[in-house]
Structure 1
Amino acid sequence: MSSNATGNTRTQSSHAVSDTQDEFKVMGSALTTKKLVIIHPGSKHLRIGRASDVNPHTILHAIARPRRKNGPLHRDPVLIPTVVLSKENKVLVDETYQSMRGTLQSCLRSDGTPRPATSVQQVATSNKQCTPIQGSISKLQLVTKSEVEDYIIGDQVLYAHPMDQFNVHFPFRHGDLNIHSGVGGSLSSVLADLETIWGHCIVNLLEIPKSELKHYRAVLVIPDIYNRLFLKELVSLLLTHLGFGGCFLLQDHVAATFGAGLGAACVVDLGDQKTSVSCVEDALSQRATRIRLDYGGSDITQSFHYLLQRAGFPYKECQPQHPLDGALLTRIKEGYCHLNLDFCGLRDVNFVVERPGVSTLRYHVKVGDELLLAPLGLFNTEVFALTGQDKRGQGQANASGDPEDPHDANYLRETSRRAHKEALENQSASAASMDTAENSTNTGGQGEEDLVVDSLAADAAPDDQPQQQLLYSLDQAILHSIERCSSDEMKRRMYSCILLVGGGAKFEGLSTWLHNRLLLQIPFQFRPEQTEIIVGPKEMDPSMVAWKGAAIMSCLESAQELWIRPAEWKKIGVRLLRERAPFYW
């Protein structure tokens, strides 16, 4: 009986393993796309949905929790806050804007006629007589502590009652985990917030019970410049805490090329708080070409508000640090700002100010070249001194060691250095035995040894070295990234195809403006026959291209070997990422 029972158990176990493997093999079929959950977290928005969905659910990537009694208060702002400018910086910002106005005045429209510019005084005079039209009482309601059991998630965070003092957290800032010294800023707290937000969306938006997640698999879209420690924790979050039956990670720039259907491209991701550039070929992001700049749509919004204030903006009570005003300014920017030189003169801008429990106010204002000057900050980054933070370029830094992954790049580099040193010592010893002048031999050997060891220490492959930290404009960042490609042929391919994705790529005329800037700077020997700048491929929203690409890639037959299962992760751990990750670990 016992032998039969053992045999039956083994048979059942082998069947279970076989069934699991078969399930992984058929992941690309149409029937299983509903079992794939694609998660693309950003600094401001979270995009989540099934691979079978046409578009993902998009929500504010934030959580608000009631503050504990007498506990500390922490509120991450919706917009990157401005700083008080020094006299020198204020002069620099104003001079830069004045120079940009001069550039616009010298531009021609598409029909070759001069483009009439608008002045600050002209706009201010037009808005002097503007008075808001009072409407009905707003039906918006603030969310209070009494209505909340534990937390508020998504767009409802904007309506958290200020008197109730909620702690507001955005788990991602500037394209990375939002680790800080305040309350809720530890790694464990940020991961707990992510688990709550993602779990809430899975249950309430995707309507998947948590108990069923073991039958689903997740694809997590990560930044092109990543922190290995954070990735390890995110995989544990998906497999251990949320309970997915499998997952793999995919860099956002690689996902964007899949979404656009491109084999090779220089990908530019214009996010809310960061702009990143890298060159992607054959589904691999070239490490040396990655660069991240800590400015984005939020900085443009603050610049836009600065320009509106100088032009007599009639909504004097506007406070960008207030969540509802920050959201309002973002909507105005997205609806009206552009880089189309054919749109000139004063334009009507209409918006409604709505506050819970009070009458709505409808404004009809005039705005001129401010609509172009705000997004032109991407090419004149001096104006982003308004938001004050260090926005210099960052590359993929060398990874710190992980005790769970002893045979990493650091280990290989150290063992390689020791092997070279030992070989050199043996060579020096043999030379010493043959040379009668032992002292001179030892001196020569020591000098050569120092030379080799130093060169190895400095070698660390160019890809492993952080990029030089400079404040690049958008066009300069693209040129810098492509110049770090490994071959001249790759540089030509990258200059021929530039893909713009992210919410900041929606400004009309941005691709034309960028194209004209690049044509003047591309080195002659790398100049392609045609430079194509792609925005919104296949009529997609640029902010959803990476999510869509991840959904496409997850269904490919070649992607089935990338899946990491919970049992494997528990047994092998982070070393699996070295074997399975579709990028250089």
Structure 2
Amino acid sequence: MDYLKTVVPSQLLAERGSNLVVINPGSANIRVGLAKQDSPFSIPHCIARRTDQFSKLNVQDQLLNSQVTTAQHMEREKAYDVIASLLKIPFLDEEVANSSVPRKMGRVDGYNPQNNRKDGAFTWTDTHVKDLKSSVPQESSSDKSLVPDSSVQNEGTESKETTLAEQFREVIFGEEALRIPPSEPYSLRRLIRRGHLNISQHYPMQQVLEDLHALWDWILLEKLHIPLHERTLYSAILVVPETFDNREIKEILSIVLGDLRFSSAVVHQEGLAAVFGNGLSTACVVNLGAQASSVICVEDGVALPNTEKTLPFGGEDISRCLLWTQRHHQTWPQIRTDILTKPIDLLTLNRLKESYCEIKEGELDAVAVVHSYEDAMPAGSHKTRLTALNVPPMSLFYPTLLIPDLYPPPPRSWFHDYEDMLEETWHIEFSRRSDMPDGFYPSGNAGLQMWDNYPFFPMKPKKEEKLGLAEAITSSILSTGRIDLQRKLFCSIQLIGGVALTGGLIPAVEERVLHTIPSNEAIHTVEVLESRTNPTFVAWKGGAILGVLDFGRDAWVHRDDWIRNGIHIGSGRKYKDSYFLQAQAMCYINS
């Protein structure tokens, strides 16, 4: 501790952070980097595998439900009109009475501080193996085994060049997987949906875990340049969403320690890590992700489990709402936009949302370039006037405006262990099961089978709340039950995640939350704190800070222990918040 008080923060990050890999998985993107880095790599959390079962791109997911009932359609239109009234813009089906009134226009000169490439087109992924002729040494007998027999027999002929050029890549990772032409024979797999492993009858658990291992292994090799044989020199910090169940955390730990071969690992929650990432100790953390949002309160470096709220919507839903709004107003070009069969269209919508959507009063239009993508053809450009751009982000407060869920969450029957990582279960006395081997602690049992011997204590699963964002924040803070803490939390709201970058969101949250607090509560001030770090990766940064400060404590799980024995539920080795570090974390935020 004396050393921590005297050492320069950048020196400590350099000393301890060079062998710490921070992994922050999310529904849409995974953020990975060394703790000593200023920012992580952000990579779409998906993988595409070549398949012979489909003649075109197939999205391997659970059943898709895109049917809109009459009641849902009416609720959506009603929500739009409520928002229109608040923003002082025409209602959904109301024509502008005086078209001579100038409308507020977005920038059209190509400059945008958040996204300098807002009008740039995406390109289709080249799914073929690169021309091997240039990479294979000339006429070497030792190298001929690398070339197919038919090519060897016709060496130097046009047939050889055609055979090599038409070989498909077996696996494609990250954003490249989202830009595969629909006509290509690939199965696209998203590893996490709505804050959970994307397990369904169409995507079995074993396949999900194999794909997760393959993607993370590729990131470590291609982005961080850490080959498999060197990973025992590294430790991993897992910064996991609050939405994860303990079963999911165990499976991921098995991959990190077993398959990826890290020497040790520790688990921290996103909300807690975000507090440390901003140099705080107490805050209400609002995590606005791509497919799920969550709210949790942290007091003096300890996350409070009874304050957790999970909301089943996020940034991608706002993007889909943007498309619906434009189609209703007939401002969307006459192009085939389908985010299910063409994930590249979702990339386009996300970019438009990030570049043009904001929360502000008055009519908000913008001239934008919308790109269309048809099977392997170059992108088409369509200059169009987008309208009502301030409506989609307001859906955070009025979620009935959002299009009904295309991606239902995984079946909860898969999870047999509802133990929440926040619960202090190591103080509970568990009876020893008669079928447990005598060597259970320690045991020669294989690590992966260790969890089969877990005592089974059914607990309530985490529930998704049918609330708007303001109601969720208010309910979370008021559930603490202490007026002094409530007042402090209402003035210490922290927005994290990509959606937190939305223009005008901070004053909107402050205003909406203030109006949501019941009148009988003696609370009159609401404040959202400006993030000192990019909200997109502030939780990743907090994980790095926790890692360098907390390295060597008992919370770390070592590979040998995991493989030999697993972790006994009563041993005190719990993946729990580290609350001894908030004082030290303050000075590391800007390092």
- How does the TM-score come out when normalised to structure 2? 0.73
Q: Are 2:505 and 1:510 equivalent residues in the alignment?
A: yes
C-alpha contact 1:273 1:299 (8 A) present in aligned 2: yes
Q: Which residue matches 2:484?
A: 489
- The residue number in structure 1 matching 2:78 is 95
Separation in structure 1 between the aligned mates of residue 327 and residue 56 of structure 2, nearest angstrom: 34
Residues 498/172 of structure 1: CA separation in 2 closer, same or farther (3 Å cut): same
Matching of residue 327 in structure 1 with residue 321 in structure 2: no
Superimposed CA distance per residue, residues 136-155 of structure 1 (whole angstroms, 9 cap, x where no aligned partner): 99974542484544310011
Out of 236, 251, 255, the residue aligned to residue 233 of structure 1 is 251
- The 5 A counterparts of 1:408-427 are 412=429
Q: 1:275 aligns with which of 293, 312, 319?
A: 293
Q: Cα RMSD (Å) of the superposition? A: 3.7
What is the match of residue 34 of structure 2?
50
Cα distance change, pair 247–105 in 1 and its aligned pair in 2 (3 A): same
Tell me how far 1:344 sits from its aligned partner.
3.7
Residue type at the aligned position of 2:383: H
1:468, distance to aligned residue in structure 2 (A): 7.0
Does the alignment pair 1:37 with 2:21?
A: yes
Paired residues of 2:567 and 2:573 also in contact (CA < 8 A): no
What is the deviation of 1:574?
Answer: 2.9
Moved more, 568-577 or 84-93: 568-577
Equivalents in 1 of 2:354, 2:527: separation in Å?
24
Equivalent position SS for 2:516: coil
Which stretch shows the higher mean deviation, 566-575 or 323-332? 566-575
What residue number does 2:453 align with?
none
How far apart in 2 are the matches of 1:371 and 1:506?
A: 15
Read off the aligned partner of 1:174 and give its amino acid letter.
R
Secondary structure of the 1:99 match is helix
Q: Does 1:195 align with 2:213?
A: yes
Taking structure 1 as the reference length, what is the TM-score of the superposition?
Answer: 0.73
Shift of residue 557 of structure 1? 4.5
Deviating more after overlay: 53-62 vs 359-368: 359-368
The Cα shift of 1:399 comes to: 4.0
Instruction: Find the residue that maps to 1:48 and give its secondary structure.
Output: strand
SS where residue 95 of structure 1 aligns?
helix
Secondary structure at the counterpart of residue 333 of structure 1: helix
**Conserved in 1, the CA contact under 8 Å of 2:122 and 2:379?**
yes
Q: Secondary structure at the match of 1:250?
A: strand
CA distance in structure 2 between the partners assigned to 1:136 and 1:414 by the alignment: 61
Corresponding residue for residue 360 of structure 2: 340
2:527 is equivalent to residue 532 of structure 1:
yes
Superposition deviation, residue 580 in structure 1? 4.0
Change over 3 Å in CA distance of 1:101–1:529 after alignment to 2: closer
Among residues 339, 345, 368, which one is paired with 1:349 in the alignment? 368
Range that drifts further, 57-66 or 96-105: 96-105
Q: Is 1:294–1:390's contact at 8 Å kept on the other side of the alignment?
A: no
Classify the secondary structure of the residue corresponding to 1:226.
coil
- After superposition, the C-alpha distances for 1:107-137 in whole angstroms (9 at most, x for unaligned) are xxxxxxxxx99976459x999xxxxxxx999
Q: Please tell me whether the aligned partners of residues 55 and 184 of structure 2 are also in contact (alpha carbons under 8 angstroms).
A: no
Mapped to 1, the partners of 2:32 and 2:309 lie a distance apart of: 26
Q: In structure 2, do the counterparts of structure 1 residues 523 and 97 end up closer, same or farther at CA, with 3 Å as the change threshold?
A: closer
- In structure 2, the CA distance between the partners of 1:364 and 1:68, relative to structure 1 (3 Å rule), is closer
Q: Does 1:180 align with 2:174?
A: no
Cα 1:476–1:351 shift into 2, 3 Å: same
Say whether residues 1:569 and 2:562 are aligned partners.
Answer: yes
**For the residues of structure 1 that align with 2:193 and 2:120, how far apart are their CA atoms?**
37
SS of the residue aligned with 1:254?
helix
Unaligned runs of 5+ in 1: 1-26, 107-115, 128-134, 416-459
Q: 1:519 to 1:141 in 2, by over 3 A?
A: closer
Q: Distance in 1 between matches of 2:322 and 2:84?
A: 14
Matched, 1:581 2:575: yes
Counterpart of 2:538 in structure 1 is 545
Deviations 1:143-173 (A, max 9, x none): 2484544310011112323233311111111
Indicate if the aligned counterparts of 2:371 and 2:379 stay in contact, CA closer than 8 A: yes
Equivalent residue letter for 1:226 = F
Among 264, 268, 292, which residue is 1:246 paired with?
264
Question: Per the alignment, in what secondary structure is the counterpart of residue 86 of structure 2?
Answer: helix
- Mapping 1:363-382, distance limit 5 Å: 363-368=382-387, 370-382=388-400
What residue is the counterpart of 1:66 in the other structure? 50
Listed one character per residue, the Cα deviations across residues 392-443 of structure 1 (whole Å, up to 9, x for unaligned) are xx9xx994589xxxx967974889xxxxxxxxxxxxxxxxxxxxxxxxxxxx
Q: Distance in 1 between matches of 2:125 and 2:407?
A: 34
Partners of 1:34 and 1:51 within 8 A in 2? yes
The alignment partner of 2:213 has SS state of helix
State the alpha-carbon separation in 1 of the partners of residues 93 and 219 from structure 2.
47
Task: State the Cα distance separating 1:390 from its structure 2 match.
Answer: 6.8
Q: C-alpha deviations, 1:303-326, integer Å up to 9, x for none?
A: 111100011124221323221211
Q: Give the AA of the match of 2:86.
A: T
* 1:228-267 per-position Cα deviation (integer Å, ceiling 9, x unaligned): 2221111111111110011101100011101111111111
Inter-partner Cα distance in structure 1 for 2:372 and 2:401? 27
Whether the aligned pair in 2 keeps the contact of 1:118 and 1:345 (CA below 8 Å) is: no
- Residue 490 of structure 1: how far off its partner (Å): 2.3
Hey, what does 1:438 align to over in structure 2?
A: none
Q: In structure 2, the residue corresponding to 1:200 is in which secondary structure?
A: helix
Q: Distance in 2 between matches of 1:148 and 1:164?
A: 9
Q: C-alpha distance in 1, partners of 2:385/2:56?
A: 43
The sequence identity of aligned pairs, in percent, is 25
**Secondary structure in 1 matching 2:404:** helix
- Shift in CA distance, 542/105, structure 1 to aligned 2, threshold 3 Å: same
Alpha-carbon distance change, 525 to 568 in structure 1, aligned in 2, over 3 angstroms: farther
2:157 matched to 1:158?
Answer: no
Deviation, 1:374, is: 0.5
Amino acid of the residue matched to residue 236 of structure 1?
S
**Change beyond 3 A, Cα 1:149–1:207:** same
Per-residue deviation, 1:347: 2.6
Q: Structure 1 pair 249/332, CA: closer, same or farther in 2 (3 Å)?
A: same
Aligned to 2:436: none
- Point out where structure 2 has 5 or more consecutive residues left out of the alignment: 1-10, 104-118, 130-165, 433-456, 579-591
* Cα distance in 2 for residues equivalent to 1:526 and 1:136: 50
d(CA) in 1 for partners of 2:59 and 2:222?
25
The separation in 2 between residues aligned to 1:60 and 1:578, in whole angstroms, is: 35
Amino acid at match of 1:581: Y
Inter-partner Cα distance in structure 1 for 2:74 and 2:465: 21
- Deviating more after overlay: 546-555 vs 162-171: 162-171
User: 2:494 aligned with 1:499, yes or no?
Assistant: yes
Task: Please report how far the alpha carbon of residue 189 of structure 1 lies from its aligned counterpart in structure 2 after TM superposition.
Answer: 1.4
> Which letter does structure 2 place at the counterpart of 1:45?
N
Q: For 1:91 and 1:582, how far apart are their aligned partners in 2?
A: 45
- Matched AA of 1:38: V
Structure 1: which amino acid aligns with 2:75?
L
The Cα of 1:345 is off from its aligned counterpart by: 4.7
Q: Distance between the aligned counterparts of 2:516 and 2:54, measured in 1? A: 58
How many corresponding residue pairs?
480
Do structure 1's residue 480 and structure 2's residue 498 form an aligned pair?
no
Summarize deviations over 1:439-488 as a string: whole Å, max 9, x none: xxxxxxxxxxxxxxxxxxxxx99xx6567765100001111111221533
Distance 1:283 1:559, change over 3 A: farther
Once the two structures are TM-superposed, the CA of residue 213 in structure 1 deviates from its matched residue by: 0.2
Secondary structure at 1:84 match in 2: coil
Q: CA–CA distance in 2 between the matches of 1:515 and 1:99?
A: 19
